[in-house]
A and B are shown apart, each in its own frame.
Chain A
Amino acid sequence: MTLTISQVLGCDVSTPDLAGVAFDDLATVVDDRADEFTVMLRDVEDAWEAGQAREAALRRGSDLRGELAAAQPLLTGVAQALRGFAADSRAIVNHLRELVNEAEGAGYTVTDGGSVSVGAPRSTAASAYDLQRDAARHGDQIRQLLERADALDESTIRKLTANRAPNSASGPGSGAVARESVPRAGTDPAKVHQWWDSLTDDERRYLIATYPDLVGALDGVPVTARDQANRIVLDSERDRLAAESREMDAYLADLRRRVAAGEEVSSEDLSRHGLVEHRREEIAGKLRGIDQILNRLESTDPGRPRAYLVGFSTADDGRAIVAIGNPDTADNVLTYVPGTGADLSHPAGDIRRADYMAEDANRMEPTAQTATIMWLGYDAPDTLPAAADHRYADGAVADLNRFQNGLRATHEGTTASHNVVLGHSYGTTVIGHTATQTGITADELVLVASPGVGTNDASDLRGVSPEHVWATRADGDPIHWAPDLDIAHGNDPTRKDFGGQTFTSDPGDHSSYWKENNPARANIARIVTGQDGEVR
């Protein structure tokens, strides 16, 4: 052990945090420049018609653009390592300070190396043996924490080293991996993780840069790598959708001009007009959602945990999985499943709920680190009548099950994290169907404002015992107006005969659970941080 108490307590975690923010900023700038380079190359291609010099210039330009694009995930990786170090250090410093205060408050002598002794004789009823045993217990706890600080130092060095430029001596294409060797979507996350562990750093970098859509979607790949990959996917999807939107704008402008000029417009044009308008609206929604996600990903406030893009797709209604803090290194992990109306066009509100729940938990238990995840990994019902249909929940079962298994597979360290899955409204139905059909890898389930979970018995929820299934419904929440009949999604899980636990929430509407004055928020934070006995 090399680190001492004074070294750990003297660690100013804001410095690596700020440096990490700077690297995230740099990654954004480099990515923007790479995009500008692409446009510039296109202009050169259009303006310079022929000749060997043109070909050489385009080739060189393309190489340079490739180098810029390849730098982005490396810079993101450095940002992850620095901000992860800051977040882990913050919890260690808080815990160490508390342990030292406790030991000194009990009258023991604490050395800088972490030893705790009884010291001078004191007037106490406890025997000398008991005092020595208690001092040794304090000393063990402090030493374990100093060892954790040492391990964090070493793992941060490894992470920083892994994000270096490819070894130029190995030549271009070093680390190349065949696309076919990437596990197929839906593969058991434990197997995916074994495969990822078997790769070299060069191979991982190659995969992230070359097949970001495959890597970003694979449960079992570490969150940091998925974040690097999905940021690339999000960026290219934003460019693609923006280009499509511009094309449609041009088409519609031309159509309007022709109508205004009295030119003949075919029936084909008229029917296409409706489709184009619809598609343009859909794209506008997705671009708005992408901007909202970027707004959180690019937050430069070092006081807030770093956000990780764990999943992203614009297919169908779109999917987004955003983590607040790194679940792979956190002590507690909350997966939040939103309900009816959630989609890619407006994820900001659900991301903020994840943000607030992370803040609540870290405030409740500052000696541990909590990460929260907004899991919009399913197609949620768009309307309230559609929420009567269980098929949306059934469609989410395999994905939520695999995602939770992936969290277990990729978690770092020897101690498993305390994993909680919380659903709001229809999100609780998704959790219920997952738990009853495939089981769910979680330590606690939290059902907020549930219309029913597909079963009337908490013991049907496989993977979590009924004493760790929590439910709440606020008086005044319109969810009460849905009749509590045993059809569709089943009964209200706050009923006594459901067999789970309940917790208090103040009267309010369907979103009031997240108001500061609502005891539901503190109760959720207690469950997330494993303080079940304190839940009211």
Chain B
Amino acid sequence: MTGRLAVRAAAFWCVVFSLVAMLAAGCGKDRNMQPTITLAEATERVERSLRDAAAQLPAGAELKREGPDEPLPCEGAGGMDTGQVFMERSYHVIHPEPWPTDQLIEILDRYWKSQGFRVLRDDRGDRLPATLVVRDSANQVDVAIDLYHRGGGSIDAYLVADSDCIWPDGTLSPRS
């Protein structure tokens, strides 16, 4: 590519990227600028979803918190940081042996459907992991059960929930 052609291509591409940025900002305006629940409220909703799911499990199980504790970033067009985040919480289901781990997806499927939750993904036929993800629209939370089938026939079960993207303080504010 000659130097002049390269400059033209770069200029054209720069204009295209600028348009994408403007379009993304414009199209996402309503959604991105609206007030949201706060991070504390999102965390509480995520925790409540997990507690409700755990209450449906057969007796004898305990939940052990695992994984990071901080929210993840939500980005706008092209990877620009919007300041919004989503909260994820994850619990390892610790249980006595024997325990009907392999029935957890069926149990939670029934419960979540009875609550009117929408199934987002049903990969219960997989082994690493077998997964059921549902949408709790009222609380704007996605909640999942993951079953990891290990060697020797054991299964590790995890309950995981994510919030939607929110402003940590509920509204657009300078980054703290």
Contacts and interface: CB of A to CB of B under 8 A. Distances in A.
Interface residues of B, number: 55
A341 B80 contact: yes
Given A349-B81, A509-B75, A384 B162 contact: no
Given A102-B152, A341-B80, A515-B86, A356 B13 contact: no
A222 to B, nearest CB: 26
B128 A531 contact: yes
Interface in A356-377: 356, 359, 363-364, 366
Contact of B10 (A99, A303, A388): A388
B47 to A, nearest CB: 14
Q: Give the interface centre of B20, B144, B158 by most chain A CB atoms within 10 Å.
A: B20
A478 B24 contact: yes
Nearest to A489: B13
Nearest to B64: A303
A507 to B, nearest CB: 11
A527 interface: no
A363 B160 CA distance: 13
A175 to B, nearest CB: 39
Contacts of A514: 72
A522 B129 contact: yes
Contacts of B77: 384, 478-479, 481, 510
B39 interface: no
B14 A388 contact: yes
Interface in B1-43: 9-10, 12-14, 16-18, 20-21, 23-24
Contacts of A288: 175
A100 B9 CA distance: 62
A101 interface: yes
Contact of B120 (A356, A509, A517): A517
Nearest to A98: B151
B152 A105 contact: yes
A414 B166 CA distance: 47
Nearest to B121: A517
B10 A479 contact: no
A511 interface: yes
B20 A522 contact: no
A246 B9 CA distance: 46
B150 to A, nearest CB: 6
Interface string B79-95: 11100011010100000
A516 interface: yes
B14 A359 contact: no
A399 interface: no
Contacts of B16: 388, 482-483
A491 B158 CA distance: 39
Given A388-B16, A517-B121, A510 B79 contact: yes
A516 B133 CA distance: 9
A102 B24 CA distance: 53
B68 interface: yes
B112 to A, nearest CB: 13
Most buried by B among A359, A366, A517: A517
Given A481-B23, A522-B131, A349 B72 contact: yes
Interface in A90-134: 98-102, 104-105
A516 B75 contact: no
B78 interface: yes
Interface in B122-138: 123, 128-129, 131, 133
Contacts of B165: 509, 511
Contacts of B9: 487-488
Contact of B67 (A356, A388, A426): A356
A102 B68 contact: no
Nearest to A285: B175
Name the 8 nearest CB pairs between A and B, nearest first. Answer: A101-B152, A349-B73, A425-B79, A488-B13, A384-B21, A511-B75, A388-B13, A478-B77
Given A387-B17, A517-B133, 14 more contacts: A105-B153, A301-B69, A340-B80, A356-B68, A363-B66, A364-B129, A384-B21, A426-B78, A482-B20, A510-B77, A511-B75, A515-B86, A516-B160, A522-B128
19 contacts: A98-B154, A101-B153, A102-B151, A301-B69, A352-B68, A353-B72, A355-B67, A359-B66, A387-B17, A388-B16, A424-B79, A426-B78, A488-B10, A510-B75, A514-B72, A515-B86, A515-B162, A516-B162, A519-B123
